[in-house]
Structure 1
Amino acid sequence: MPPQNASQETIVCYAPLMITTHGIWQGDNPLDYSLPLFILQLILVVLTTRILVFILKPFRQPRVISEILFYALTNVLKMIYISIFGYFGVNCVNEHVQGGVILGPSVMGRSSIFANAVFPLRSVMVLETMANIGLLYFLFLVGVEMDIAVIRRTGRKAIIIAFAGMILPFLIGISFSFLLHQRTQVVKQGTFILFLGVALSVTAFPVLARLLAELKLLNTEIGRIAMSSALVNDMCAWILLALAIALGENESVNLATLWVVLSSAGFIVFCIFVVRPLIFWVIQKTPEGESVSEFYICLILTGVMISGFITDAIGTHSVFGAFIFGLVIPNGPLGVTLIERLEDFVSGLLLPLFFAISGLKTSIGAIDGASTWGILALVIILACAGKIAGTLLVALLYQMPFYDGVALGLLMNSKGLVEMIILNVGKDQKVLDDKSFAIMVVVALVMTAIITPAVTIIYKPARRFAPYKRRTILKTKPDNDLRTLVCIHTPRNVPTIINLLEAANPTKKSPLCVYALHLVELTGRASAMLIVHNSRKSGRPAANRTQAQSDHIINAFESFEQNAEYVSVQPLTAISPYSTMHEDICSVAEDKRVAFLILPFHKQQTVDGGMEATNPAYRVINQNVLANSPCSVGILVDRGFGGNTRVAGNQISHNIAVVFIGGPDDREALAFAWRMASHPGSTLTVMRFVSGNDVQEPTSSTGRIENDPRVLTVVTDSDRQKQEDDEFINQFRTMIAHDDSIAYTEQVVNNGEETVAAIRSVDNVHDLFIVGRGQGLVSPLTAGLTDWSECPELGAIGDLLASSDFAATVSVLVVQQYVGSDLADFALSPDSPAENHHENFMNHTQR
């Protein structure tokens, strides 16, 4: 029997001129030519990877799992194929060549014709070349996106955790290398030790970010520590990888190895002190607001290949040169342009080829025998335990909870592309043989796959949220700050939201605490994160368009904080899939003990005054938040409230109107408007609609309505709500009796038509309507309005005011009060409306 590392040699004939076909009508087979064959292979690779991603999506696994599974699966199918056809005497030599890739013969056809036609050996060189070009540019983009300054700003705890999480797995890798070396044909033991140690100790930063997003841990302390530690770990891994590559050709340190190290250091110095200043010069020559010229973009993309060629020539892998070249690209418009032009093409199309071509080097069949599988299980257990133990030790020293430390250790076990690169380089340099390579691939796959379920079981962040009572504006005491969470999709949402907050009249006794949450869709393009932003004191421009938008929003709110009195602002950025964005919003609201949450409406005003939908996903987010919010919610329909430019607080002038029909939502809406009315530049008109003599009271009809916990159709409940409405209005009228800036009117109506007519007759002098959503309230005064409602999430009155048919182009704030178990106690609670607003009323009357 030949040794395990022996490879079969096959002579392959290439036809250099057979690149493009003359067409099937000329009798040519397209698969005999390089270009159409490569296109077909690329289609199969990308489609197979995407299908695996779709299959694993319900299990909340990162995309790298699908990509690793892809080339692991091809080898499993290869073994099945060989076993079946070998049993029947079919010649499978071509398919069993070391590193052969069979894309599912058991799936796409039980015939060697498919394998020989679609993946012939002559195509391997083209595939591997394109795969390495994709890898080259991907590592360049990684360097462009990475900010070394972040490491300098990383806390001491994260740095110590990063090193502690590397040392123990590295030592375990060294021990494992001695055990595995006896069972393999590896010759370079010293370099073998280094490669295994690095592979086991590395943490994949992009994979970890995605896992944190899926687990909803990005806004937690453990998430921030894990992200910072992984970044430090990644940088250390690159340094160790460069050292391992330098030692790969020589078992001992000699003159050649020294030259490799010195040449690599010289290349780094050249990039820092020559290339980086040149790129700064290019940026300075570009006029502000304009993109970098195509000429310079082409030069930089050519520089990536030149860097790869230089580092490959001096004995370091080409990806090292591309990564360093990307690392010296300054953050700013140039980085934005490079990322936006390359990322989708490289990550989505070329990078899967790297995982596919890795299937040529992976032989799952090399893991033979019970003893080898026992070693594999032992490596997985020890590597995970080492990472967890090292991280847990430091976490306990910093007095972190035990389960937090265990969860952090599990998260630091994330593996991904960096480890695949390390293993492939080791395989290319004959440091790793088939068995050790296959074992490490399975280790990476299993360690990353178990993280999500393990952390879900161990770490329960929901338990950390302490209950709080002041979840509504009515429940907020006058001597406490009003905690408000505002959500922003684009910078266009910012001016109206800031004007609304300015008009909310923050005072010394009742300041305004604002959490500004920028909502960004999580796609496969970017690392997922939720970061508490500190001031960008460095003044450095953003690294990508999303960050540029986030910076614009942050700067606007920080300017609002500096210019307004008694306002504190904490900007946040949440990057999450739109389907689960509401979970992040509600989690932040719960964590920050927010009383009022403001969402932008999914439609925006057009030039002609109409309303058009910007993104249908925004509406779904709003609906999900309304259904799950831990506090009161307001949906803001933006029609230019306060204009697009901010004015001084003492110069603003707003005319606010409240439509009051009754119910907890309307009381909450009036409570917020009452606070706004205390502002010296605001006037408030409250229009209460009361039932006339000809009104027909609705009766409980359908079971669907009765089963809604918010529907107030039971007579006793309706009577109690009406009593609370009367008490609240009486308190309000008593306190505004001597205030000329607040007007109160009552209009008698008998049905929905009269209500609409009365609202339409209001003078076009108001710039903001505040109304309750009226969810669950069955009132004869709004009967029939919901039948024609275009946006039910706004309620009957809110939908009317926001529609294009409404004559006045006025902004609308639709309020829904938080529904808790103590809904019935609102009017009878110690924090009654009268007590809550007495202080504001006194300030208002004395202005």
Structure 2
Amino acid sequence: MSLTELSATFFMALAVIVVACRIMHALCKKIGQPPVVGEMIAGVLLGPSLLGLVAPQVQDWIFPEEVLSTIGVVSQLGLVLYMFTVGLEFPTDGIKRFAGPGMAVSAGGIIIPIALGFGFVYLADGAVPLFPDGISIEIGAMYVGLLLAITAFPMLARIISERGESKTRYGLLSLAAGALDDVLAWVLLAVALALAGSGTSGGAMLAGGGFVLLIVVLLILRPILARTLPRLSQEKIFAVAAVILLISAWFTDMIGIHAIFGGFALGAVIPRGAISERLIEVIRPMTVGLLLPLFFTFSGLRTDFGLLGTSSILVAGAALVVVAFAGKLGACALTARAVGESWTDSLRIGLLMNARGLIQLIALNIGLQAGLITSTTFALVVVVAIVTTLAASPGLSLVDRWARRRGEEIVSAALDSSDDLEPVLVNDGKGTA
């Protein structure tokens, strides 16, 4: 395929993706689901599970292998830019007071799912083709456990933002726990890749130490940026931010932690104010409307639900969904309750931590590329990603209705003035306040 043909086909595929995502956005809005769920489902529908099944020639024409490779690369840029805007909106001052309970919730949401993942793999091994030849059951079980332990932090942040809960107590605690959860999960993923022979023997140390180094450097840069950025023109501000963003993404990718965390780390240390608001205003629409859906389509195009046709695999899939809910929603909710949160807030935290979509799909793609899992396991975990994410919004609405029946009108707890946080009232459970 020539460069001209590749670019023409890519633009056509991009148009198809955007239209499919917009249609699914509208349908999801009608049933109270966040747009990101529609993007996940649109990706699956455009893949071999539907389009490739009913019209394989059309799928091959719209999404040839060369175009898929291009979509994969461009989708990484969309992820980095999106996580940069999430970092820009990250309430770092408010998160500080929730670091303690956030660490407890994160620990519960990591340890229990990994343990349940081991149990699932040992019971299902042999009945279901989970891993390729050459992957030991111990390494495979560790990887599946990590997939179950992951929280989709960007999705969690997006759901919280869309529901107007970014300044509530449980919203802030969920953000703190989700951020800690995913950083730790990526470090552990580096360990799994290293043990599987996909990384260096010092992969875990490189990942952890490198990320700490990046944070230190960015924190040193923060006061410098606070002094210099306001003196620059808008064009130069974007140029400086773009260069530092790309370097941060490159560095985190190089040390074995996905590039998105470089984008998030930079966004979190950029000084708040008119500059950060302008960066969000310019970057967010293009990213959410055009670039981010590419990633979901890229994952969907690699998912074939036809592999789930046998009874043993269907039973394994149902069991994996149950394990996923018990290990994340159950563990995080109980841990939050144990550290003093109310039952309603604990359930909200569990539901938010249980949504795995984006980050789980990233880790899943990495595992498939590294040869850690089979296409069957890939499809099983995609089901988990969709179901757990679908459950978040209706689950939160149910908890809101339960809270109203209990007379709990205010979602956020009383906060002192130093936190600069406002209480958010429960309204109809659909994101308005």
- TM category, shorter: 0.7 to 0.9
Structure 1 residue 188 corresponds to structure 2 residue 129: no
Structure 1 pair 179–291 and aligned structure 2 pair: CA distance change class (3 A): farther
Return the alpha-carbon distance in structure 1 between the equivalents of residues 347 and 215 of structure 2. 39
- Displacement after TM superposition at 1:47 (Å): 1.3
Return the alpha-carbon distance in structure 2 between the equivalents of residues 161 and 124 of structure 1. 38
SS in 1 for 2:417: coil
- Displacement after TM superposition at 1:418 (Å): 1.7
Return the alpha-carbon distance in structure 1 between the equivalents of residues 431 and 405 of structure 2. 20
- Displacement after TM superposition at 1:350 (Å): 0.4
Q: Which moved more, 1:245-254 or 1:233-242?
A: 245-254
Q: Choose the corresponding residue for 2:64, options 117, 120, 130.
A: 120
SS in 2 for 1:430: coil
Return the alpha-carbon distance in structure 1 between the equivalents of residues 299 and 206 of structure 2. 29
Q: Choose the corresponding residue for 1:60, options 32, 49, 53.
A: 32
> Counterpart amino acid of 2:189?
A
Deviation track 1:344-400 (CA, whole Å, cap 9, x = no partner) reads 111221010011111232121222310111011111112212334434544554676
Using structure 1 for the length normalisation, give the TM-score.
Answer: 0.45
- Displacement after TM superposition at 1:205 (Å): 4.4
Return the alpha-carbon distance in structure 2 between the equivalents of residues 297 and 576 of structure 1. 38
Return the alpha-carbon distance in structure 2 between the equivalents of residues 576 and 37 of structure 1. 46
Deviation track 1:222-252 (CA, whole Å, cap 9, x = no partner) reads x632541343133222222133135415427
Structure 1 pair 400–127 and aligned structure 2 pair: CA distance change class (3 A): closer
Structure 2 matches for 1:240-319, cutoff 5 A? 240-251=185-196, 256-258=200-202, 260-265=203-208, 267-287=210-230, 293-319=234-260
Return the alpha-carbon distance in structure 2 between the equivalents of residues 573 and 388 of structure 1. 23
| 5+ residue gaps, structure 1 | 1-13, 20-32, 83-94, 96-111, 468-514, 516-528, 538-550, 555-570, 585-847
Return the alpha-carbon distance in structure 2 between the equivalents of residues 155 and 316 of structure 1. 22
Structure 1 pair 176–365 and aligned structure 2 pair: CA distance change class (3 A): same
Return the alpha-carbon distance in structure 1 between the equivalents of residues 272 and 166 of structure 2. 25
- Displacement after TM superposition at 1:71 (Å): 1.8
SS in 2 for 1:241: helix
Structure 1 pair 53–393 and aligned structure 2 pair: CA distance change class (3 A): same
- Displacement after TM superposition at 1:66 (Å): 0.9
> Counterpart amino acid of 2:278?
T
Give the conservation status (yes or no) of the 8 Å contact 1:158–1:226: no
- Displacement after TM superposition at 1:275 (Å): 4.4
Give the conservation status (yes or no) of the 8 Å contact 1:151–1:232: no
Matched positions, count: 426
Return the alpha-carbon distance in structure 1 between the equivalents of residues 261 and 159 of structure 2. 26
Which has more radius of gyration? 1
Structure 1 residue 390 corresponds to structure 2 residue 331: yes
Deviation track 1:472-500 (CA, whole Å, cap 9, x = no partner) reads xxxxxxxxxxxxxxxxxxxxxxxxxxxxx
SS in 1 for 2:49: helix
Structure 1 pair 173–299 and aligned structure 2 pair: CA distance change class (3 A): same
Using structure 2 for the length normalisation, give the TM-score.
Answer: 0.83
- Displacement after TM superposition at 1:413 (Å): 1.9
Structure 1 pair 373–40 and aligned structure 2 pair: CA distance change class (3 A): same
Structure 1 residue 235 corresponds to structure 2 residue 175: no
Give the conservation status (yes or no) of the 8 Å contact 1:138–1:351: yes
> Counterpart amino acid of 1:365?
G
Give the conservation status (yes or no) of the 8 Å contact 1:203–1:413: yes
Structure 1 residue 197 corresponds to structure 2 residue 159: no
Return the alpha-carbon distance in structure 2 between the equivalents of residues 162 and 392 of structure 1. 11
The equivalent residue for 2:78 is 134
Structure 2 matches for 1:5-24, cutoff 5 A? 14-15=1-2, 18-19=3-4
Q: Choose the corresponding residue for 2:118, options 154, 165, 174.
A: 174
Structure 1 pair 302–126 and aligned structure 2 pair: CA distance change class (3 A): same
Q: Choose the corresponding residue for 2:21, options 35, 44, 49.
A: 49
Return the alpha-carbon distance in structure 1 between the equivalents of residues 244 and 175 of structure 2. 28
> Counterpart amino acid of 1:61?
Q
Return the alpha-carbon distance in structure 1 between the equivalents of residues 198 and 10 of structure 2. 41
> Counterpart amino acid of 1:229?
S
The equivalent residue for 1:367 is 308
- Displacement after TM superposition at 1:195 (Å): 3.0
Deviation track 1:604-651 (CA, whole Å, cap 9, x = no partner) reads xxxxxxxxxxxxxxxxxxxxxxxxxxxxxxxxxxxxxxxxxxxxxxxx
Q: Choose the corresponding residue for 2:356, options 405, 415, 423.
A: 415
Give the conservation status (yes or no) of the 8 Å contact 2:146–2:185: yes
Return the alpha-carbon distance in structure 2 between the equivalents of residues 405 and 383 of structure 1. 17
Structure 1 residue 340 corresponds to structure 2 residue 281: yes
The equivalent residue for 1:164 is 108
- Displacement after TM superposition at 1:410 (Å): 3.8
Structure 1 pair 210–574 and aligned structure 2 pair: CA distance change class (3 A): farther
Q: Choose the corresponding residue for 2:7, options 23, 29, 35.
A: 35
The equivalent residue for 1:77 is 50
Structure 1 pair 247–126 and aligned structure 2 pair: CA distance change class (3 A): same
Structure 1 pair 219–437 and aligned structure 2 pair: CA distance change class (3 A): closer
Return the alpha-carbon distance in structure 2 between the equivalents of residues 369 and 575 of structure 1. 44
Deviation track 1:700-758 (CA, whole Å, cap 9, x = no partner) reads xxxxxxxxxxxxxxxxxxxxxxxxxxxxxxxxxxxxxxxxxxxxxxxxxxxxxxxxxxx
Return the alpha-carbon distance in structure 2 between the equivalents of residues 158 and 250 of structure 1. 29
Return the alpha-carbon distance in structure 2 between the equivalents of residues 69 and 170 of structure 1. 27
Return the alpha-carbon distance in structure 1 between the equivalents of residues 260 and 182 of structure 2. 14
Return the alpha-carbon distance in structure 1 between the equivalents of residues 303 and 382 of structure 2. 8
Give the conservation status (yes or no) of the 8 Å contact 2:83–2:154: no
More strand by share: 1
- Displacement after TM superposition at 1:131 (Å): 1.3
Give the conservation status (yes or no) of the 8 Å contact 1:45–1:352: yes
Structure 2 matches for 1:674-685, cutoff 5 A? none
Structure 1 residue 424 corresponds to structure 2 residue 391: no
Deviation track 1:429-465 (CA, whole Å, cap 9, x = no partner) reads 2222211111011012112223444454565122123
Return the alpha-carbon distance in structure 2 between the equivalents of residues 408 and 269 of structure 1. 27
Give the conservation status (yes or no) of the 8 Å contact 2:211–2:252: no
Return the alpha-carbon distance in structure 2 between the equivalents of residues 332 and 214 of structure 1. 21
SS in 2 for 1:64: helix
Return the alpha-carbon distance in structure 2 between the equivalents of residues 214 and 322 of structure 1. 21
Give the conservation status (yes or no) of the 8 Å contact 2:44–2:301: no
Structure 2 matches for 1:430-579, cutoff 5 A? 430-457=371-398, 460-465=402-407, 534-536=416-418, 571-572=422-423
Give the conservation status (yes or no) of the 8 Å contact 1:61–1:211: no
> Counterpart amino acid of 1:170?
I
More helix by share: 2
Structure 1 pair 135–400 and aligned structure 2 pair: CA distance change class (3 A): closer
> Counterpart amino acid of 2:143?
F
Return the alpha-carbon distance in structure 1 between the equivalents of residues 233 and 368 of structure 2. 40
Give the conservation status (yes or no) of the 8 Å contact 1:396–1:402: yes
Question: Cα RMSD between the aligned structures?
Answer: 3.7
* Paired-residue identity, %: 26
> Counterpart amino acid of 1:178?
Y
